Structure 1
Amino acid sequence: MVSGQKTVGRSARYPSAPRRLTLLLVQVGIVFVCLGITVIVALMVQERQIRAATEERVIRVAESLSNLPVVRAGITAPWPTGELQPVADLVAEAAGMDYVVITDTAGIRLTHPNESLVGEQVSTDHRRVLAGEHFVGVEAGTLGPTLRAKMPVYDTAGTVIGTASVGILESAIAEDMRDGVAGLLPWALGSLAVGIGAAALVTMLLGRRLDRLARDARDLVVQRRVGAALGEQSHEFTNRLHVLYGLLEDRENDEALDYIRTLVPVDAEVVSGAAAEAAAGGEAAYTGPRTAPTPVSRSGLRTLIERHRIILTERGGILECDADEVGVGNLDTEEFEVIANLLSNAVDAAGPGGRVELRLARGAEGLSIRVSDSGTGISRADRERIFEHGFSTKARGERDLPRGFGLALVARVLENRGGWITVGEPVYGSSGTRMDALVPPLYPVDATTGRVQNPVAIDPDSREEPR
């Protein structure tokens, strides 16, 4: 017992650890995503900038090379390579080009970084350049893929006498990109560390607030559950007052005292059980132990009917009752609750000048109940929901008791005893509501064997809207 209490204490002491971890992971995930997107965009922009700068560089070098007088003179010289190769090597070294190639109008290389390729036909198409066009792009040559620029070389008369081609290897551009990534990486890691630190700080600050909210939420659940249990008890208490009133009115004091003794300890258990379930975190309607059914005198039923007749009469309405006390016999408290709640709802629904009919009959299947009212009726959309715990079609006033419990109690009693209830329209008019219910006996007796059998739900084949 002691160890169990310690375990509960530890779990209650650290209720927010998973929640705080989840909050931290969500924030860190957001930091990762945002940083990742930022890094990708930065790398794309950097790659474009590096490529644009490289293109601009090769264009300027190619233009400058094609306009040099020594290049013009060298192309038409008797031994052009001897005059042009030193110039090409100097330009390549000064401008940081991987290759510089000068050709004649036949496309024969006059210069090349690889001396063995001098004097051979170029490996790429130079016809459009010889036609006077400029070319900038990536081509695969003898050194590999390069970003290159090709310019025509003109003589003093404006005639194309050759081409000047310069380029930078794609591998060199990729190396520049790697250098850029290396420079960006420390900043990205630093930003990640700052983001994680900020997320941890926010988690710590919000965690305290979330703990407070979690405690408030648990307290609210407990209050709602206890309130629901007390709401049920208020309905049952009202009905039991009618029973007690009838017993006392008939001077049956001993029976009244016995009836009170059966109620007090069990009802206390109902409320405390609801609070215990709420503290455990549940929010469903309390389904714990209820008062065991006990006999109700006929005077209790008579008093219940007369009370509601007085209420209707004061409102200018009428209550018609067809209930043979001898035929109906003695009721138990659950049967009484069903009648009381259905009748109370009908009286409320009928309103001023309204009409309510109550029909009771007991047969072999159990107690048959029909309650009709001349109120506004219940929409088909609400007919299924009216038996839900806490649902009500009535507007709640400032001093009203909690609503949405009476029919839920009825449904629970009928479900426990294998009964049924239907919702329809009154037989005497189109407006209003009619409810038919069957409450089977607690211990049905088999007519053939004479033995007590378990209650079995009866299927209301011809009824509408069965519950």
Structure 2
Amino acid sequence: MTTKNRPRFATRALLLHLATVALVVGLCTGIYLALAVQQLRAEAESTALGIARTLAEDPQVRAEVARISSAEVRPDAESLRVGELQRTATDVAERTGALFVVIADDEGIRLAHPTPSRIGEEVSTPFEEVLAGNEVVDWQTGTLGESARAKVPVRDKTGTPVGEVSVGFERTGVFDDLPPLLAVIGVTAVGALTLAVLTFLLLRRRWERLTLGVQPEELVALVQNQTAVLNGVDDGVLAVDTAGIVRVSNDAADRMLGLTAPIGRPLTALGLPPTALETVTGDRERSTAVVDERVLYLEARPVVRDGRSLGDVLIIRDRTDLIALTERLDTVRTMTAALRVQRHEFANRMHVAAGLIDAERVSDARAFLGELVERGSVAFPVAGLGLLRDPFLTSFLGAKGVEAGERGVSLRIADDSQLLGSVAEPEDVAAVLGNLVDNAVTAAVAGERTPRWVEVAVLGDGDALVLTVADSGAGLGSVDPMSPKPSDDVGSDRIHGHGLGLPLAREIARRRNGDLWIIDPGGTECGAVFAARLDGALTDITTAHEEHP
């Protein structure tokens, strides 16, 4: 059945509502009837027992039954029909409305009965338990039909049971009060159902007014589609109404902005960076911010329906991995340029050596080649580069030295540098070291000190690589680029990578169980000094010797 052919939700809810109320009313009615029947039965049994006890305690009845039971001959039925016991039993039955009052001796012979012709006969129901001295209250079927009856023993002067008194009330008489009860229950049930119908009609009217006539199936579809769309994309979505209250925030937005239960809270109370607030309020159309070491691209879009503004939607995209990949590509580009320079320089020197040999200047060629072996294939403009025996660091810092020299900055290696192992993770080392060197060169160019320089210290600590980078710039001043607080604007100050470089470099270092920190923010003698530690970035020289003794 299609949705169009199905009954409306209001109709189905009404039917379900009425069915529920009818079920509850039916259950209550059944329980009440069961309790009422049980109470009527208990009252009838209690009345029969009370009458039987009273009659069994009557002195004349006790004496007469004891006399008959002690006689050796069977009692005469004719004399019993006009005897004292028959008159007493008949009077009690008439006064109490009992179906029967029967008196029997110790052999179960009827001494009194509503039907005189049955006097002198044995009772139709068991009497042994009564003659044993026990009272019996039960519903039984005898010669007069089913009845609630009570049987009480008649005792002689010594207390020995010598007979029984049986009193019963007819079933129809017991349940004479049921019809009025059923009428009351029926009226109550009809009233409950009527009230349920009226209540639901009011609720349906209120529901349709609140939902603008949209059925719950349609609301469910809207919620499912919204959840699937919002949580099925990698971009963060943050919707704010015209009052500045967050109404929608998907999982990606909560994760990237570090939010916890933002829905229903004011945007200004979420602790977002100012750039994000300005973007949402429309002061900026697009912006970029660093939040918890993640580079986020923010874009706001207004939401308008039927000419009325409903608020704004902030789209958040994570660009951290893209920027990190860009920096790695820059590193690869630097290494490629260095290799190209090495290849070109090496080719030139080979031509020189070949020319000396062709000119039969063997001694000069030998001296030239010895100098080439001593200095390397390329003379990079980096003082102290020979302290580094790792080919990767030598080539990488040499290439950085060439780039720095083009900007008027000299790159040098600190005299206390010592590296025994070799680089095992060149990509991470290049990303962190390259970022620190580039930032230092930029700071040195922007500074007023001359000459402009950048100094790099490289130390090995087991398999960990420790780097320090200092420059001749003006220092950090009051700006803390390593602050965990979100940057207000990543484009406002890039001297030391306040926006993107340092957070990414620190993330790489921490991913290797290391860190990146500031040793000195700068002073009168030099600019800022940064340090980084990358565990597992080196091949331990001890391990290398053990593997290749």
Larger Cα-atom Rg: 2
| Fold similarity call, TM over 0.5 | no
- TM-score, normalised to structure 2, is 0.38
More helix per residue: 1
- TM-score, normalised to structure 1, is 0.43
